[in-house]
Each structure stands twice: as structure tokens, then as C-alpha cells.
Chain A
């Protein structure tokens, strides 16, 4: 198939037709989230918001992808996959002889939840669940085994020998040892019997449906129980179960418990969206887990402390997509955008800004001799028009801070020296000044590849959406011979438009979306008001709020929530915001002698409220105020400091 016009629009791995294309577009750095040692032979939970990259990660390990990668490596057909091959080799998934593991991807969200609605007791429901799951695990393994060994499906399975893992092992209605075809028929018939009863037009008849007491399929699919030509089919089997969030919470717990209890040599991945977690788990952010199995991998959480690395990876992903595009002469994502305001077009704007700010400063502090040196220093400063404007604006902030200092010292009337100005004028103040300038002068602020990568909020799908918007216009511009690099203004407008679309979609696409958006709007407006105060506190600005860890404890306390329904509602809304990556939480953040749960707005929502994109700066609020924000919008206080 012809490469697409805009490859960024292929946001799902399943939208990419061929394995070769998928491998070329896969950025190997993503594999860093896997623990080097324990990933193959243990139970590994992988979580993320939608679009975090779980499904792409799993696709990498299925036979088709590994075989294609091996062929590409052997024949050197694609230079871009060399690093990927090396990484997978280090992980033990492949070597020069070919794939070393049988990866099996199984979608687990399909139709299981309706088992919970049957008029049966819990034990029978559990038996039905395990029966159906066993059948599907076996079928998925046999499908992938046929692909791995290049056997016809299902006829070729007759060449597979299935032996019991132990002498005493038995399976209802199946005698072991048997061949793969017999195993296939057993599983197919079991699945058919359950599914056709559930899917009947008539009233349900469920009395005679078959079921199993445990996850016995894990014993049947071990690498040493499935033989081809008398040899184990691979070094190991990796079962990757996706979409677990679609199971009911009881089924999910049963499954995880059964997988752990099985202590099988088969590696099992359990991939789920955050939605799988209940409100308590969501607020706990997985901190109570990790004893019986590997620490869950939370993709966004993994990248949070390494966000700069994620952003570099994102740009590499974008470069791969750009190169894959049809009909475009662009060879790198950076070529799609200008990333500086130091161009003649903006010089008059900055010059005018300098004049206006200087006039404001003189009006505010010109009568005092204290700032004479500071003002003189700015008048004599050298640099680009942008540097000078930023210098003036940061001076205005610093003077404002001096003038508003609550406690006057004995030396408050002393002349402030230039040296002190340089000390105070750090990068945070300059960043705040840049933000203020952008807003006051109508200058673009959200532009450049690093900015777009930051706006992904650590989510690949979100990044592809934003980068796709940039590439779309860039490719069109290049086609019209206007040059591929979009101006900062255009980039800024595109990011604003994307932020607006996300904002508009919240009531539509999220449970309790309208209340959630009310809350986010209050957080955003509060952050905006706090950020743009004349003294630029918490420079360059805040992108969220925080509540005490002790108050977060209340939101997880059933008794408290029973007594305070509005807190229960808030806890659910907060959990929904976290599950959809609209808020990003940092737990146990130490500040002012206390521990805080920091709630950062999704970086794209920061664009909606004209906030800076740095992580970690916040202004805390009491729990009750956050709760009130759902129904009562944030209103700017009439006097400075009345809220603080």
C-alpha cells in the first residue's frame, strides 16, 4: 500500500497495515519501560491512559513482527530497525537465528462482563469465566504457534504434540497427550457453546454451560508442553492480555489472582487502561501493589521524572513518521516549524514592548531612587530585541516584588545594585517574563518541536495528534512552495485549536464529564490568576493545584465518603480526571513541612488557560475548596492575597 500522506494520523498500531512499516515507525527507546531481567517469566501489569502505547508494545512481540524484524535485519532492508533489533536481542526476544519467544496477544475485553449479569451464583460465574478464558487463551496460542512455525491453520496443528505438564494434570473433556488439532477443536467447541448460548435472541438458558475451576490453560501453553517435531516450540511463551479494563472488577481480581497462583513459567502481561482501577486504586496510583508480581508499569508515571527523555523520543518518533510520508520532501520533524521569535518580523513588537514596559516602570517606581541602577542597567543592555523586551519585563516583575514585600527591612530604602538584579533575574523569572510578554503583546508562546513534545503530556497518541496537525499544514505549505517551516504564530494557533477540541470533548467523551470540566476550569482559571499576578509567584507559573496527602486519605476512606457524599463525588471526578490523563498526579510531594498530592493539568489544558508548560509548580488549595469548585466556578479575589 502507498505510504500515507500524513503518517501521524495512523495513531493506532492496528491502523498500520504491514509489520515492516510498523517496525520502521517503532521507536526502540519506548522499550526502556520494560525491566531488563524480569519481564519474560513473571506477571507484569502494564497501565496507561488510552494511547499510552501498550498495544504497540505488545504487537512488537507477536511472531509476525519478530519474524519480519529478523528478515529485515538479515537482509539489511531498513537501517532504521537496527537499534530495535539490538534492543530486542538484549531483552532475549530475538537473535541472529530468529525469534526466541512465542508472543501471544489476546484481547480480553470481549464479552466477559456480560457473564456477570447471568442469573447464576458467583461460583458458577467464575467457572464460566475461566472456562471461556481458557478456551480463548488456548486458541490464541495455537493461532500464533501456527504463524510462528508457518503451519496451515488449523490443519497444520496436527503436527504439534501437546503433552500434560505433570502426570496428574487433567482437563475436562480433553485427554492428554493429544495433538494440536485436537486441542484446537476442544477449545473451539468450548468457546462456541458458551458464546452461542449468551448470544441467543431468546431468553438465556445457562444451566448446562461448561466451565473450569482455574486458569488451567497456563499449564497447557508452556514452551515445554507444546512440541513441534519433538522439540519445544520456543525458548519461552509470553502471553500478553490486553484491554483488561473491560473486565468487571471481580473478573479482573479473579484473573490476576489466578495468574499469580498458577506460578507458570509462561510470562504474562496484563495490560489495562487506568479506567480499570477503582477510585481508591486510582488515587493510590498503584502504590499498594507490587508484592506478588513485578511492580506495575505505569507508562506515564514511568516517564514523568524522565520527561525530557520522553520528549526526545517523541521527536524521534515524529522523525520516523515524517520520513514515511508520501509525496513530501521534508526529512525531519524540526523542518516543519520555526522555533524562534528572533526574526525581523517580531522586532517592532519587541521594541514597542520595551518602550511600554519602561514607561510603566517609570510610572510605578521612577520616583524612588532605589531602582535607578536596575533601570539604568536595562537601558544599557545589549542583545536581540526579544532579549531586551524579556529583560524589561523581568525587571518589572522584580521591582513589583520589591515594592510588595510585606515586611520592610531597615535597608529597604538603600539603592539596589546591578549585581543584585543579575542574581535575582534567573531563568525562572525570565521564563515568566516571556510568558507575560506573549500574553500582553499577542505573541506566540506554544511553538517549536520541544514544545509540541511537551504538550503530549507523556502520551504518544496525544503527541501524534498534535504533531500530525503541524505536519498536515507543513506538508501543504511545502507543496505550495511556501516552505515547510510553519511560523510560530501558526503553530501557536494550531496548538490552541487542539486544546480547544480536547476541552470541548470532555463532557461528550468522559463519564461525569460536565462536572469534571467545571472542576478543571476552576483549576485552570485559578492557576491562570495565580500565574499572572504582577509578582509572578512560583515563577514561571503554576500548572495545577495540590491537596494534602492527609486530605487525599479522606477521599479513600469509605466511612468519610459515606458521610460526605460531595467528597465521594469529588473523589470519583478526580479519579476520572486521572484515568483520562486530564490531570497528572504526583504523590508525596514534600513542601512546607507537609506532603502533598500535586495535580498537574494535562499540558494541553495548560495551553487552553495560557499557562506555562513546566512540571511540578502548583498552588495548593484546601480539599473543601476543590470540592466546591465543581459547582461554584473560581472567581478572582477582589483584593490581593485574600485567597492566599
Chain B
């Protein structure tokens, strides 16, 4: 409750850098041309045809300096449906190693998803990097999340932000943190989750006070970003959060202007019949601008905090059932506000994916999350 009394702090990402398509390629060409830069690209060693689109673009942008790659090699366990696509994983990886050539080193980090029956992927993803020194000798760290599950890139990015925030200023120049995502809603809709976990959990380092009995009487607000084909996820995350209020976010503006309506139709039974949602609680945020999502959700969080402070405060859970691009907005809110508020990221994973058709025409988006541009 005392935590809830803090005034609203300035927005960390009020001014931001977001580029897409040709603009993104031009941005990287300019950025790498300015001086010699050593770049580390962290990407998923996955079946997704988009997994190397970001790396290809950076390599094509030219410039001097090393171009190292760290591939996260997913050990999803024997039962994973994704094992059927092992040949695609290898093909993508061959492309990556071939593309880097002698521009830098290519390393692989084995990421175990399970320890017995426990999911430890998020914890292991956070532990890929453990000290600022692992990052600060690079000028740019780029995380391409196109072939990473949410349960991996959320804790990974949070750890990277934390380590870069913790890095002793002045010892080296600021290391930039970029995120690249190859957005293709059509392909996303064709990648079906198989074997969704029985229970949702809060992601590593994003549990907030949700499990705490001491604040168990506080109201719980849940802000899920809704997306297609995720009603089972919604249902199971609801069971974990057990919210008193739900404030769903719909993608609007969106390429398909009816997309938000279609999503409401899909979730109708859950939202209005089971949970008796007041339609005035629906929020909208731009489908292709995670910083807009960040602003909207952040504003809503403070709104709930102020309103519910009269009855003892609240806890806020965020969940991303939407595109990866939008989901980054929730990560930014949760990362920024965690030291100030009771906020968590509730999430549910699955045991692999089934893809009907790999045809993809992605559009690359790039976000600059930390570093030089924010140091002014």
C-alpha cells in the first residue's frame, strides 16, 4: 500500500526508436556506418523461417566490427511437437552460420526447458547472461525474438535490461540493446500451440506480490493483450491470477480493422458470460507499435492503482496473448514498474508447436530499448 503511494514517475520510454521495413534497414545502415561497432545478435535456433531475417538485414547493412551470434538451442524435451521440424531448424542454422562466415563467432547456448516435470526454460533463459561484463564489450546487443517463445524472450530481455542498467556508468560506452521481430500475423496464426501447460505461472522475476499471502486481500487487476486462438491460454491464466477486474487490450488500429471485433467474438463466452466483463473495460492499442501498447497499459496500471488505493491498493498482472510485437509493450511496463508497484507477468507455455504452412512474408520491426539514444 505504501508502494502504491508513489507519484507517477516519468515514462522511461516516452521518446523511443521504432523502425520497420526499409526504414529499419536504413537505420541499421546508418548506425553501423557511423563507426566500427561490435555487435552480438542473440537469436533462437528454431524452425521458424523468420529466425534469421533480422541477422540477414544486419549483415547486409555493412559497417566494420565483429558480428557475433549466440543461438539459443531449445531442448524442449522428448514429447515436443516441434521435434517434427528438426530438419528446418538445421536448415535455418546452416543459413545463419554460412551468413556470418568470418564476420564473427557463432556460439550455441543449450537451453533446457524442463527439469523433470518442472518447466525451467524461463529461469534458464534469464541465466544466459549473468553479469554486465558479458555485454559491455559489445557496442550493440540485438535480440531477435522472431523464433523465441514468450517464456524465453521475456526473462531474457528483462535480464539484459537489468544488467545494462546495473553496468557501472563511465567504464565503457553504453551498450545498446535492440530487439528485432519479424512480424507476420498470418504465419503466427498458422503456428498452433500443442500441449498447453496445465497451469499458468508468473514468469521468472515477474511474479510481483501475486503469491504473497500478506497482501492477499488486495484487489487483483488483470490486463491481458488478446490475440486469436488463445482462449485456452486465457482460461488457464485466469485460473492462476484469479483477478477481481479484467481489462483486456484489443489490437486497434490494426491492418484488418475488424480484427478487434473478431477477437471479441472469439472470447465472447469467456469475457461476457463467464467473467461478466463490463464492455467499458476494453482497451485498444496499436497492433504495430509496442511503445503505444506500453503507454496505454502503463496509463491503465496507474489509473487502477489510484482508483483502488481507496480500498487498500491493487496488484496488476499483465499477459501477452497477442503478437510478439505487441507483447513487448507489456514487458516494458512490467520491467519499468516492478520496483514501484505490485506488478507481474502471468504466462502459460506449451509443449511445442504444429505449423500448417511455413509460407511467410514478414515485416521486420526494430526497437531500440536501451543505450546511447536514452543517455542524453
Q: Give bound CA distance, A529 to B206, whole Å.
A: 52
Whether A261 sits at the interface, judged by CB under 8 Å, is no
Whether B273 sits at the interface, judged by CB under 8 Å, is yes
Of the residues A106, A191, A203, A505, contact of B127 by C-beta under 8 Å: A203
B162 to chain A, nearest CB (A): 4
Q: Tell me if B208 and A199 are in contact (CB < 8 A).
A: yes
B233 to chain A, nearest CB (A): 10
Of the residues B117, B193, B217, contact of A249 by C-beta under 8 Å: B117
Q: Give bound CA distance, A65 to B206, whole Å.
A: 33
Q: Given that A510-B195, A511-B195 are contacting pairs, would A135 and B274 also be in contact in the complex, using a CB cutoff of 8 Å?
A: no
Q: Tell me if B123 and A140 are in contact (CB < 8 A).
A: no
A246 to chain B, nearest CB (A): 6
Q: Tell me if B213 and A199 are in contact (CB < 8 A).
A: no
Q: Give bound CA distance, A195 to B127, whole Å.
A: 18
Closest to B344 in A: A199
Q: Given that A195-B209, A248-B118 are contacting pairs, would A140 and B198 also be in contact in the complex, using a CB cutoff of 8 Å?
A: no
- Complex interface residues of chain A between 100 and 124 (CB less than 8 A to chain B): 106, 109-111, 113-114, 116-117
- What number of residue pairs across chains A and B have CB atoms under 8 A from each other? 112
Q: Give bound CA distance, A188 to B209, whole Å.
A: 12
Residues of B within 8 A of A192 (CB): 212, 214
- Fill in one digit per residue for A1-27: 1 if any B CB lies within 8 Å of its CB, else 0: 100111001111011000000000000
Residues of B within 8 A of A248 (CB): 116-118
Interface centre among B120, B159, B212 (most CB of A within 10 A): B212
Residues of B within 8 A of A246 (CB): 199
Q: Give bound CA distance, A578 to B330, whole Å.
A: 37
Whether B91 sits at the interface, judged by CB under 8 Å, is no
Q: Tell me if A202 and B217 are in contact (CB < 8 A).
A: no
- Complex interface residues of chain A between 227 and 274 (CB less than 8 A to chain B): 243, 245-246, 248-249, 273
Residues of A within 8 A of B22 (CB): none
Residues of B within 8 A of A249 (CB): 117
Q: Tell me if B274 and A10 are in contact (CB < 8 A).
A: yes
- Fill in one digit per residue for B76-115: 1 if any A CB lies within 8 Å of its CB, else 0: 0001010000000000000000000000000000000001
Q: Given that A249-B117, A513-B194 are contacting pairs, would A143 and B213 also be in contact in the complex, using a CB cutoff of 8 Å?
A: yes
Q: Give bound CA distance, A512 to B354, whole Å.
A: 13
Closest to B194 in A: A507
Q: Give bound CA distance, A140 to B215, whole Å.
A: 10
Q: Tell me if B210 and A139 are in contact (CB < 8 A).
A: no
Q: Tell me if B205 and A15 are in contact (CB < 8 A).
A: no
Residues of B within 8 A of A135 (CB): 213
Q: Tell me if B217 and A512 are in contact (CB < 8 A).
A: no
B130 to chain A, nearest CB (A): 5
Whether A509 sits at the interface, judged by CB under 8 Å, is yes
Closest to A136 in B: B213
Whether B158 sits at the interface, judged by CB under 8 Å, is yes
Q: Given that A111-B211, A191-B213, A195-B209 are contacting pairs, would A512 and B195 also be in contact in the complex, using a CB cutoff of 8 Å?
A: yes
Closest to A515 in B: B79
Of the residues B79, B161, B216, B274, contact of A143 by C-beta under 8 Å: B216
- Complex interface residues of chain A between 500 and 546 (CB less than 8 A to chain B): 505, 507-514
Whether A200 sits at the interface, judged by CB under 8 Å, is yes
Residues of B within 8 A of A181 (CB): none
Closest to B209 in A: A195
Q: Tell me if A143 and B194 are in contact (CB < 8 A).
A: no
Residues of B within 8 A of A282 (CB): none
Whether B242 sits at the interface, judged by CB under 8 Å, is yes
Interface centre among A117, A140, A508 (most CB of B within 10 A): A508
Q: Tell me if B123 and A201 are in contact (CB < 8 A).
A: no
Whether A39 sits at the interface, judged by CB under 8 Å, is no
**Chain A: how many interface residues by the 8 Å CB criterion?**
53
Residues of B within 8 A of A139 (CB): 213-214, 216
Q: Tell me if A514 and B194 are in contact (CB < 8 A).
A: yes
Q: Tell me if A201 and B205 are in contact (CB < 8 A).
A: yes
Q: Tell me if A191 and B166 are in contact (CB < 8 A).
A: no
Residues of B within 8 A of A184 (CB): 214
**Chain B: how many interface residues by the 8 Å CB criterion?**
51
B216 to chain A, nearest CB (A): 6
Residues of A within 8 A of B211 (CB): 110-111, 195
Q: Given that A117-B120, A507-B195, A509-B196 are contacting pairs, would A195 and B273 also be in contact in the complex, using a CB cutoff of 8 Å?
A: no
Whether A187 sits at the interface, judged by CB under 8 Å, is yes
B348 to chain A, nearest CB (A): 11
Q: Give bound CA distance, A428 to B173, whole Å.
A: 84
A107 to chain B, nearest CB (A): 8
Residues of A within 8 A of B216 (CB): 139-140, 143
Q: Give bound CA distance, A245 to B162, whole Å.
A: 33
Q: Given that A203-B127, A511-B351 are contacting pairs, would A195 and B212 also be in contact in the complex, using a CB cutoff of 8 Å?
A: yes
Q: Give bound CA distance, A117 to B335, whole Å.
A: 23
Whether A434 sits at the interface, judged by CB under 8 Å, is no
Q: Give bound CA distance, A248 to B115, whole Å.
A: 11
Residues of B within 8 A of A199 (CB): 205-208
Whether A153 sits at the interface, judged by CB under 8 Å, is yes
A281 to chain B, nearest CB (A): 13
Whether A275 sits at the interface, judged by CB under 8 Å, is yes
Residues of A within 8 A of B255 (CB): none
Q: Given that A203-B127, A511-B351 are contacting pairs, would A275 and B198 also be in contact in the complex, using a CB cutoff of 8 Å?
A: yes
Q: Give bound CA distance, A479 to B211, whole Å.
A: 45
B145 to chain A, nearest CB (A): 18
Residues of A within 8 A of B210 (CB): 110
Q: Give bound CA distance, A12 to B270, whole Å.
A: 12
Residues of A within 8 A of B361 (CB): none
- Complex interface residues of chain A between 176 and 231 (CB less than 8 A to chain B): 184, 187-188, 191-192, 195, 198-203
Residues of A within 8 A of B123 (CB): 114, 117
Q: Given that A143-B217, A192-B214 are contacting pairs, would A111 and B207 also be in contact in the complex, using a CB cutoff of 8 Å?
A: yes
Closest to A153 in B: B217
Q: Give bound CA distance, A248 to B118, whole Å.
A: 8
Residues of B within 8 A of A14 (CB): 242
Q: Given that A117-B118, A249-B117 are contacting pairs, would A509 and B213 also be in contact in the complex, using a CB cutoff of 8 Å?
A: no
Closest to A275 in B: B198
Q: Give bound CA distance, A15 to B271, whole Å.
A: 11
Residues of A within 8 A of B217 (CB): 143, 153
Whether B269 sits at the interface, judged by CB under 8 Å, is yes
Q: Give bound CA distance, A200 to B198, whole Å.
A: 25
Q: Give bound CA distance, A15 to B354, whole Å.
A: 33
Whether B234 sits at the interface, judged by CB under 8 Å, is no
Closest to A154 in B: B214
Q: Given that A117-B120, A505-B232, A511-B351 are contacting pairs, would A140 and B273 also be in contact in the complex, using a CB cutoff of 8 Å?
A: no
Whether B286 sits at the interface, judged by CB under 8 Å, is no
Residues of B within 8 A of A245 (CB): 198-199
Q: Give bound CA distance, A35 to B351, whole Å.
A: 40
Q: Tell me if B162 and A202 are in contact (CB < 8 A).
A: yes
Q: Give bound CA distance, A510 to B197, whole Å.
A: 7
Whether B303 sits at the interface, judged by CB under 8 Å, is no
Closest to B193 in A: A508
Closest to A138 in B: B213
Closest to B232 in A: A509
- Complex interface residues of chain B between 147 and 167 (CB less than 8 A to chain A): 158-159, 161-163, 166
Q: Give bound CA distance, A327 to B127, whole Å.
A: 56
Q: Give bound CA distance, A327 to B217, whole Å.
A: 33
Of the residues B117, B130, B198, B232, contact of A508 by C-beta under 8 Å: B232
Whether B12 sits at the interface, judged by CB under 8 Å, is no
- Fill in one digit per residue for B108-138: 1 if any A CB lies within 8 Å of its CB, else 0: 0000000111101001000100110000000
Q: Tell me if B118 and A11 are in contact (CB < 8 A).
A: no
Q: Tell me if A4 and B273 are in contact (CB < 8 A).
A: yes
Q: Give bound CA distance, A113 to B240, whole Å.
A: 14
Listed A/B pairs (7) with beta-carbon separation below 8 Å? A10-B274, A15-B276, A195-B211, A201-B158, A202-B166, A508-B196, A511-B351
Extra 17 A-B pairs, beta carbons < 8 Å, given A9-B274, A248-B117: A4-B276, A6-B273, A11-B274, A110-B211, A117-B123, A191-B214, A195-B207, A195-B211, A201-B162, A245-B198, A246-B199, A505-B232, A507-B194, A508-B193, A508-B196, A510-B195, A512-B195
Please name the 6 residue pairs, one residue from A and one from B, whose CB atoms are nearest each other, closest first: A9-B273, A110-B211, A139-B213, A201-B162, A188-B214, A111-B211
